[in-house]
Amino acid sequence: MDIAILLADKIVQLTLMVFLGYFSVKSKLLKSEQSLPFSIIGLYIISPAVLIMAFQVDYSEKTLSGLSLAFVLAFLFNGLLVFLGWIFKKLFKLDNIEQATSIYSNSGNLIIPIVASLFGAEWVIYSTAFIVVQSILFWSHLRMLICGKGSVPIRKILLNINILAIVVGMAMFFFHIKLPSTLAGTLSSLGQMIGPLSMLVAGMLIASIPFKKIITDKRVYLVSFLRLILIPLILLITIKLIGFEQWVENGKIIVMICFLATISPSAATATQMAVAYGQDAKKASAIYGVTTLLCVFTMPIIIWLYQIT
């Protein structure tokens, strides 16, 4: 089956989880504010587990060359995203939440389960390159945008559990260290929760926002257009002009995996951080919710364009 169709099916599955979170609040089973502990669990327990387990693959020169390309793309794409976010802030007078949700994509929570489903678990390592670079930006640049503070101490960035998980995971990969089966199984099981938990949290937060406010807020659709259409098209042109696909064996798949990370909805982490740090979580949730719903249509189309060009 065509990758674009498989992608649409997987996104629909995750979107249905958003609705489950939404109806759990609307049915008064839970309260919207009870999403806070789930957000903390996602940020500080599940995310580190995913990052460590992504590097638990067999070391080989082929894997290393593919991973090197993935890191080149990760630095280039993230650099372009931050630059474009700065440009869009000036052009469209974006506030910090709008800028953050236009720049940062749901590269972990959404892309890891999608890559595993489309290509197999052994390909997930190539998505981690983008996640590694983005995670560093999450706990520095994104945090500054969300918190609205001047700077984040380097010590806090380096000692963040997600950054430490990246360091540990990469060290084990390069030194050929495998976790004991019990520990690996525990972390793997935790990692499988990343998609569903993030979707449920988003649904719970969206439930606290009047539906009319979501569908009538023009700023939400502006950010959705930037995140799901304009930015992906700019990056697609960049990819095709430079020709990254020819750099390594299986380059087309590796580039597609990295590209998928940039065309996904707004980052769940932006919403979780807005909740955790007491910022405008409702706006972040509205943008996250709308981009998650719209990506059912936009992501398959963008990937189809990638395949035919």
Residue 123 pLDDT greater than 70, yes or no:
yes
Average pLDDT value for residue range 236-247: 93
Q: How far is residue 217's CA from residue 213's CA, in Å, rounded to a whole number?
A: 6
Report pLDDT digits (tens) over 245-257: 889 888 889 999 9
Report pLDDT digits (tens) over 223-238: 999 999 999 999 999 9
Report pLDDT digits (tens) over 11-25: 888 888 888 999 999
Q: How far is residue 271's CA from residue 280's CA, in Å, rounded to a whole number?
A: 9
**Which amino acid appears at position 87 of this protein?**
I
The model's pTM is 0.82
For Cα atoms 84, 134, 295, give the angle at the middle one, nearest 5 degrees.
65
- At what angle are helices 218-225 and 96-103 packed, to 10 degrees? 30
Average pLDDT value for residue range 24-42: 88
**Which amino acid appears at position 29 of this protein?**
L
Of the pLDDT bands very low, low, confident and very high (cuts 50, 70, 90), residue 186 is very high
3-state secondary structure of 105: strand
Distances in Å between the alpha carbon of 31 and those of 35, 55, 199?
Answer: 8, 37, 16
Check residue 237 and give its pLDDT.
96
Phi-psi region of 180 (alpha: psi -120 to 50; beta: other; left: phi over 0): beta
Check residue 236 and give its pLDDT.
96
Residue 68 pLDDT greater than 80, yes or no:
yes
Residue 206 pLDDT greater than 70, yes or no:
yes
CA 38 to chain centre: 17
Kindly give, in sequence order, each residue whose CB lies less than 8 Å from that of residue 56, ignoring residues fewer than 6 positions away: 169, 172, 173, 178, 179, 184
Q: How far is residue 175's CA from residue 167's CA, in Å, rounded to a whole number?
A: 12
Check residue 153 and give its pLDDT.
64
Check residue 39 and give its pLDDT.
79
Check residue 152 and give its pLDDT.
57
Distances in Å between the alpha carbon of 18 and those of 84, 158, 216, 292?
Answer: 28, 32, 20, 9
Residue 44 pLDDT greater than 60, yes or no:
yes
Q: Give the pair of three-digit tokens for residue 285.
A: 């949730």
Which domains occur in the chain, in start order?
Answer: 1-308 (1.20.1530.20)
Q: Are 293 and 15 in contact (CB under 8 A)?
A: yes
Bridge partners for 266 per DSSP:
105
3-state secondary structure of 80: helix
Q: Give the pair of three-digit tokens for residue 183.
A: 């520990």
Check residue 262 and give its pLDDT.
94
Residue located via tokens 């700023």: 219
Q: Using the 8-state DSSP alphabet, how is residue 55 labeled?
A: T
Kindly give, in sequence order, each residue whose CB lies less than 8 Å from that of residue 34, ignoring residues fewer than 6 positions away: 204
Check residue 210 and give its pLDDT.
76
Could you give the percent of the chain with pLDDT greater than 90?
A: 38
Of the pLDDT bands very low, low, confident and very high (cuts 50, 70, 90), residue 148 is low
Three-class DSSP labels, 243-283 = CHHHCCCCHHHHHHHHHHHHCCCECHHHHHHHHHCCCCHHH
Residue 211 pLDDT greater than 80, yes or no:
no
Per-residue burial over 95-124, b if 16 or more Cβ lie within 10 Å, else e, is ebbbbbbbbbbbbbbbbbbbbbebbeeebb
| Mean pLDDT, all residues of the chain | 86
Check residue 149 and give its pLDDT.
57
Which of 84, 55, 118, 80 has its CA nearest to residue 254?
118
Of the pLDDT bands very low, low, confident and very high (cuts 50, 70, 90), residue 267 is confident
Residues in the chain: 309
